[in-house]
Structure 1
Amino acid sequence: MTYLASEHATVADRLHPVINMIFGAEPPVRIRAWDGSSLGPSESEGGPTLVIRNRRALRRLVWSPNEVGMARAFVSGDLTVEGDFIGALDRMLHLFDATQGLHLSSADKRLLVASAMRLGAIGSNPPPPPEEMRPTTGMLHSVRRDAAAIGHHYNVGNDFYRLVLGESMTYSCAYWPDLDAANPATTLEQAQTGKVELIARKLGLKPGMRMLDVGCGWGTMAIHAAREYGVHVVGVTNSHEQAVGAAKRAAAAGVADLVEIREQDYRDIDDGPYDAISSIGMAEHVGTDQWRGYAELLYGLLKPGGRLLSHQITQPPTVTDTLQSRRQGKPERTFITAYVFPDGELQSVGWISDQLETVGFEVRDVESLREHYARTLRAWVSNLEQNWSEAVRLTSVGRARVWRLYMAGSALAFDRNRIAIHQVLAVRPDRKGHSHMPATRASYATVD
């Protein structure tokens, strides 16, 4: 008797060849099907369990046998994880890997369809969960399209973001001074304060300076610069929710007279010069073809001797080359582009430095914070999981699932250097080529 021929075969029996095909061997986690049957590591071994809750999960993979199909199954709740969510993804990483992903051959797809037919899982294409953004229209990175993409991600509700990000309301990599300690004591809020303080020092902020925070989020950098350094700050975002939230936070911090928050596209900023510019988690949204123009704009907005700090997620060139080779120049929809960051594009830190130098900047300092972001993301996942019911109430269960999957997967990607994050400090030299920068890093590259 074989699991394919027996009338008494369980769902797990019938799924066994598909599971082997997907994982290339026995599954790294326990898998339990909707009839209660299971395969993989025994329960006595512990570890997380992947639960296939219904036939619709298979139907999603039949129609979209790729990363998006898997993501739809997770977001809809057709696939769930019992136990350590990040641990489960860690064991299944190749299914969500930035350079490999779930890519099935024609023979693999035929096996998937055959197994689905035996299990009665063939039917019409299930509609995507409502949290998925429809493919955007219009010219890539036009003002209107960028506003729609930003709104999809950021206009989820300030209360939801506060639940996930903590009271700092800082949606970027924190700076953990005790990252290597056996028992680190730094809290998420302290680490986020450390990050904006590090940026303030790199920018050489002093009382009376005028600073631009492009992509200001909920205003954490702007408030810190104004409160701690007496700097006049213009913060710009094209997210309405962020603009409203940032203005309220500046007023509550007592720095409304020093902080101006604008709901504005960066291309419309024309009131330079500024002494300093921070760009934190902004450049990922600009787009490769538009990046040179972005750099030129910031260069033109700075005074000679003014500094720019770009804090952005990057991608090693080996990963970028692999992606381009696999896609052969054709855009490929992924979980991130469909659910999280529509139209987002990553570049390598070398490429970014080249662009800055090409428009006239002198690059003075480059620092990787890759491990810091992995820890930050784990803190956000913990916040979400600890406040799951409230997160669902504030948004939807689907949106909460999107965030859990995206943050957990991103933490693992940073762990493995599939993506990284760098702070690039650049200066606009004066007419004589002088940068007016300290000769050593000691004055700005550390935080007490």
Structure 2
Amino acid sequence: MADAASRLKGLIEQMLGAPLPLRIRAWDGSQAGPPDAPVLVVRNRRALRRLLFKPGELGLARAWVAGDLDVEGDLYGALDRLAGLVWERGEDARTLRQALRDPEVRAAVRGLVRLAGPPLPPAPPAEEVRRRRGHLHTRRTDRRAISHHYDVGNDFYEIVLGPSMVYSCAYWPDPGSTLETAQRDKLELVCRKLDLKPGQRLLDVGCGWGSMALHAAREHGVSVVGITLSQEQAAYARKRAADEGLTDRVEIRVQDYRDVRDGPYDAISSIGMAEHVGAERYLEYARALRSLLAPGGRLLNHQIARRPQRDETAYDVDAFIDAYVFPDGELQPLGTTVAQLERAGFEVRDVEAIREHYALTLRRWVANLEAAWEPAARSAGAGRARVWRLYMAASALAFERNRIGVNQVLTVRTPEPGASGMPLRARTWA
């Protein structure tokens, strides 16, 4: 099909009613669009069929994961330009129905259907998780969701995360620091906020590969119980504890937070775990952690937050993230999180917003993945590696554009008659 790129560019611009800000290279080798723009590579007509069957974010994601679409040049620049066409324009059913009332849009869609050719629709890539019906965030569904994201091979995560093996926002002393330094500084910041002292007991909820547990035990002399639902993470963390000679102070369990019964603990850290809890379970989560704390004990809750919506009842989860990255994950506004923690009986003492730090962290993870692309793709599979590259790059932009944030909320199980044990001068850990 001669000059497919020009035809595709013209039809897309007719449908959008705006110039396409990317250059297109089509399956026939033809190119069209601004010469200095990132290049959107449309490898085959199947990519068009995916977009026609699932217009918007999910169709783009399916084509990307399957390798039907690619980007040459600046990936961040391409995603930034696409955001204005997809994420910021809206893609719900009502928006699409309204657009299709326009004769120009209907004509463009018919042209794309002819260009795409039969058959419709292609099967989703194997990496996609099918949406489930019924209750979310049961013990069984949470185990399945966690396994999808974390049990993809420790070798793959070693490539992406680097030696620190910390899968949450680092805390950067300056943008030129190493990722390992920034992650160590984050772990130390959490320990200082919790005011850990030798001999205390720490519960690390969602302990990952054990980095927080090991740091707290090694640097602050506490005994740590780390819990995770990932078998691969637990095995890795236990080996690290054994290699460091810390098995007498670090215990790693494959356990749901709802099943922990051996409190009280002097402190609890929950770093990048609460996003998996779900809105309907959040109060239960907060109450469960409070019941495990000794009076005067502190909880540090480190959690990604989304911006509030005008109509919260209309909010839906991100289609790409839910289908490929964090099944059943839910982000809540910071105010909702604080309110739920207070409803559970915690006293909220400090909130620190660190969204710029997560953008820096994600860009380093993307760079690690791109620098070792072949071994990463062999380890987790090419489709899964493409998922991680897209989600981390897009997330970096979301943090930079203030579409999402991340916050450390420090709370206390304040005992009667109200002595919190907190210092008079705020942020003694700074």
TM-score normalised per structure 2: 0.94
Contact 1:116 1:122 in 2 (8 A): no
Query: C-alpha displacement at 1:380, in angstroms?
Result: 0.4
Q: Give, as a single letter, the amino acid of the residue that structure 2 aligns with 1:168.
A: S
- Indicate which of 123, 127, 134 corresponds to 1:131: 127
Runs of 4+ in 1 over 6 A off after TM superposition: none
- Indicate which of 103, 106, 114 corresponds to 2:100: 106
Q: Give, as a single letter, the amino acid of the residue that structure 1 aligns with 2:337.
A: I
- Indicate which of 241, 247, 253 corresponds to 1:250: 241
Q: After superposition, where does 1:14-163 map in structure 2 within 5 Å?
A: 14-21=7-14, 24-42=17-35, 45=36, 47-95=37-85, 97=87, 100=90, 104=96, 105-107=99-101, 110-163=106-159
Deviation by residue 1:25-50 (Cα, 9 ceiling, x = unmatched): 222121111122222211xx3x4211
Query: C-alpha displacement at 1:81, in angstroms?
Result: 0.6
Gaps of 5+ in 1: 1-7
Match of 1:277, SS? strand
Q: After superposition, where does 1:48-447 map in structure 2 within 5 Å?
A: 48-95=38-85, 97=87, 100=90, 104=96, 105-107=99-101, 110-179=106-175, 184=176, 186-317=177-308, 320-321=309-310, 324-325=313-314, 334-444=319-429, 446=430
Contact 1:96 1:409 in 2 (8 A): no
Deviates more, 1:393-402 or 1:120-129: 120-129
Q: Give, as a single letter, the amino acid of the residue that structure 1 aligns with 2:380.
A: T
What's the % identity of the aligned pairs? 59
Query: C-alpha displacement at 1:112, in angstroms?
Result: 4.8
Aligned alpha-carbon RMSD (Å): 1.9
Query: C-alpha displacement at 1:14, in angstroms?
Result: 2.0
Supply the distance in 1 between the matched residues of 2:83 and 2:284 (Cα, whole angstroms).
36
Matched residues, number:
424
Supply the distance in 1 between the matched residues of 2:254 and 2:399 (Cα, whole angstroms).
31
Deviates more, 1:357-366 or 1:380-389: 357-366
Deviates more, 1:345-354 or 1:366-375: 345-354
Contact 1:315 1:347 in 2 (8 A): yes
Gaps of 5+ in 2: none
Supply the distance in 2 between the matched residues of 1:241 and 1:95 (Cα, whole angstroms).
39
Supply the distance in 1 between the matched residues of 2:207 and 2:64 (Cα, whole angstroms).
32
Q: 1:133 to 1:429 in 2, by over 3 A?
A: same
Deviates more, 1:111-120 or 1:140-149: 111-120
Q: 1:120 to 1:358 in 2, by over 3 A?
A: closer
Supply the distance in 2 between the matched residues of 1:380 and 1:402 (Cα, whole angstroms).
13
Deviation by residue 1:193-241 (Cα, 9 ceiling, x = unmatched): 0100000000000000000000111111100000000000000001111
Contact 1:363 1:426 in 2 (8 A): yes
Deviates more, 1:361-370 or 1:28-37: 28-37
Contact 2:12 2:108 in 1 (8 A): no
